[in-house]
Amino acid sequence: MKQKLTNRQKQIYDFIHDQIVEHGISPSSADIKRQFNLRTSNGVMCHVNALERKGWIKRDRFCYRGIKLAGENVTQFAHLRLGQAVKIGGVYIGKCAHDSETGQTTLELIAPNTYGEVKQA
């Protein structure tokens, strides 16, 4: 269960949330430090640790920009024309075909580290 945040923690959480939704990746500690005029990286880590301890985020300490939103699905929408592609959360999505009779649209998804290998499901 998520614990209540201080005003400053809420501001930092909102910044992290917005960066993940808008850019598909969490901000770096330098980004957070700059955004909130924090003097030290330790100040950033104190806030990030509090957000994790209170259940709002999860971190991969071995991954640069490894902050994830805890227990929250982030929905992103993309309107694609035939032949267009977009990257959402590390997955490339492209519109390959649309059948106007059935209304079916075929999308191609390429996940990271698959080297473009396509598998049919």
pLDDT for residue 70 is more than 80:
yes
Better-scored residue on pLDDT, 23 or 52:
52
Percent of the residues in the chain that have a pLDDT greater than 70, as a whole number = 74
Q: Can you spell out the DSSP letters for the chain? A: -PPPPPHHHHHHHHHHHHHHHHHSSPPPHHHHHHHTT-S-HHHHHHHHHHHHHTTSEEE-TTSTT-EEETT----------TT-EEEETTEEEEEEEEETTTTEEEEEEE-TTSTT-----
For the chain, list the domains and their CATH numbers: 7-69 (1.10.10.10), 76-121 (no CATH)
pLDDT for residue 66 is more than 90:
no
| Banded pLDDT at 121 (limits 50, 70, 90) | very low
Q: Output the pLDDT for position 8.
A: 96
Better-scored residue on pLDDT, 94 or 33:
33
Better-scored residue on pLDDT, 74 or 110:
110
| Angle ∠(46,31,28) on CA atoms, nearest 5 | 70
